[in-house]
Structure 1
Amino acid sequence: MEPNVRFWITERHSFIQRFLQWTELLDPTNLVVSIEKIEKSRQLLLKNEDAAIRDLANQRIKDAWKRSLSTVHPDSSKLIPVPFRPAAFLPFTAPMVFFSMMSVKSLKSLVLPQVSFYTYTTAFNMVNGNASYNRHLYESLLLGTGVIASSSFFGLFPVLFQMRVNHVLLKRALPIIILTHVSGMNVVATRSLEPIRGIEVMDKEGNVMGYSRKAGTKAVKDTATSRIVLFGTTAFIPEVFSHFFVRTQFFRQYPWSLWTFKLSCTVLVMGLMVPLSFSLFPQMGRIQCSELEKEIQSVTEETELFYNRGV
Structure 2
Amino acid sequence: MEPNVRFWITERQSFIQRLRQWTELLEPTNLFISVAKIEKLRQLLLTNEEASVHDLGDQRMREAWRRSLATVHPDSSKLIPVPFRPAALLLFTTPMVFLSMVPGKSLKSMILPQLSFWSYSAAFNITNGNASYHRHPYESVLLGAGAVASTTFFALFPHLFLIKYELKSTLLRRTLPVVILAHVSAMNVLASRSLETTRGIEVMNKEGQVIGYSRRAGAKAVRDTATSRAVLFGTSALIPEVFANFYKRTPLFRRYPQSLWTLKLSCTVLVMGLMAPVSFSMFPNIERIQCSKLEEEIQSATEDTELFYNRGV
- Please tell me the TM-score bracket, short chain as reference: over 0.9
Which shows bigger deviation, 158-167 or 26-35?
158-167
Match for residue 110 of structure 1?
110
Task: Report deviation, 1:187.
Answer: 0.4
Match for residue 74 of structure 1?
74
Alignment of 1:239-258 (within 5 A): 239-258=241-260
For residues 89-133 of structure 1, what are the alpha-carbon distances to aligned partners after superposition, in whole Å with 9 as ceiling and x for unaligned?
Answer: 011001000000011211111111000000000000000000000
Whole-angstrom distance in 1 between the partners of 2:249 and 2:142: 48
Match for residue 275 of structure 1?
277
Alignment of 1:154-165 (within 5 A): 154-165=154-165
Residue 214 of structure 1 aligns with an amino acid whose one-letter code is R
Which shows bigger deviation, 264-273 or 163-172?
163-172
Whole-angstrom distance in 1 between the partners of 2:113 and 2:178: 15
Does residue 185 (structure 1) correspond to residue 216 (structure 2)? The answer is no
Does residue 153 (structure 1) correspond to residue 153 (structure 2)? The answer is yes
User: How many residues are matched?
Assistant: 311
| Counterpart secondary structure, 1:66 | helix
| Counterpart secondary structure, 1:163 | helix
| Counterpart secondary structure, 1:77 | coil
| Counterpart secondary structure, 1:48 | coil
Match for residue 7 of structure 2?
7
Whole-angstrom distance in 2 between the partners of 1:145 and 1:9: 34
Whole-angstrom distance in 2 between the partners of 1:142 and 1:164: 33
Whole-angstrom distance in 2 between the partners of 1:257 and 1:104: 18
Residue 69 of structure 2 aligns with an amino acid whose one-letter code is L
Alignment of 1:157-236 (within 5 A): 157-167=157-167, 168-236=170-238
Whole-angstrom distance in 1 between the partners of 2:89 and 2:49: 29
Task: Report deviation, 1:299.
Answer: 1.3
| Counterpart secondary structure, 1:251 | helix
Task: Report deviation, 1:196.
Answer: 0.5
Q: Mark the runs of 5 or more structure 2 residues left unpaired by the alignment.
A: none
Match for residue 285 of structure 1?
287
Task: Report deviation, 1:229.
Answer: 0.8
Alignment of 1:87-126 (within 5 A): 87-126=87-126
Whole-angstrom distance in 2 between the partners of 1:160 and 1:125: 27
Match for residue 85 of structure 2?
85
Residue 156 of structure 2 aligns with an amino acid whose one-letter code is L
Whole-angstrom distance in 1 between the partners of 2:51 and 2:25: 21
Conserved 8 A contact 1:235-1:266: yes
Whole-angstrom distance in 2 between the partners of 1:238 and 1:205: 45
Match for residue 42 of structure 2?
42
Whole-angstrom distance in 1 between the partners of 2:54 and 2:225: 29
Which shows bigger deviation, 25-34 or 104-113?
104-113
Whole-angstrom distance in 1 between the partners of 2:53 and 2:164: 59
| Counterpart secondary structure, 1:50 | coil
Conserved 8 A contact 1:198-1:212: yes
Q: 1:264 aligns with which of 266, 281, 284?
A: 266
Match for residue 132 of structure 1?
132
Conserved 8 A contact 1:165-1:171: no
For residues 208-262 of structure 1, what are the alpha-carbon distances to aligned partners after superposition, in whole Å with 9 as ceiling and x for unaligned?
Answer: 0000001001000100010111111111111001000111111111111001000
| Counterpart secondary structure, 1:56 | coil
Residue 200 of structure 1 aligns with an amino acid whose one-letter code is E
How many percent of aligned residue pairs carry the same amino acid?
Answer: 70
* TM-score normalised per structure 2: 0.98
Whole-angstrom distance in 2 between the partners of 1:170 and 1:240: 13
Whole-angstrom distance in 2 between the partners of 1:33 and 1:238: 33
Residue 293 of structure 1 aligns with an amino acid whose one-letter code is E
Computed over aligned residues only, the root mean square deviation of the Cα atoms, in angstroms, reads 0.7
| Counterpart secondary structure, 2:52 | helix
Whole-angstrom distance in 1 between the partners of 2:151 and 2:206: 38
* TM-score normalised per structure 1: 0.99
| Counterpart secondary structure, 1:200 | strand
Task: Report deviation, 1:165.
Answer: 2.1
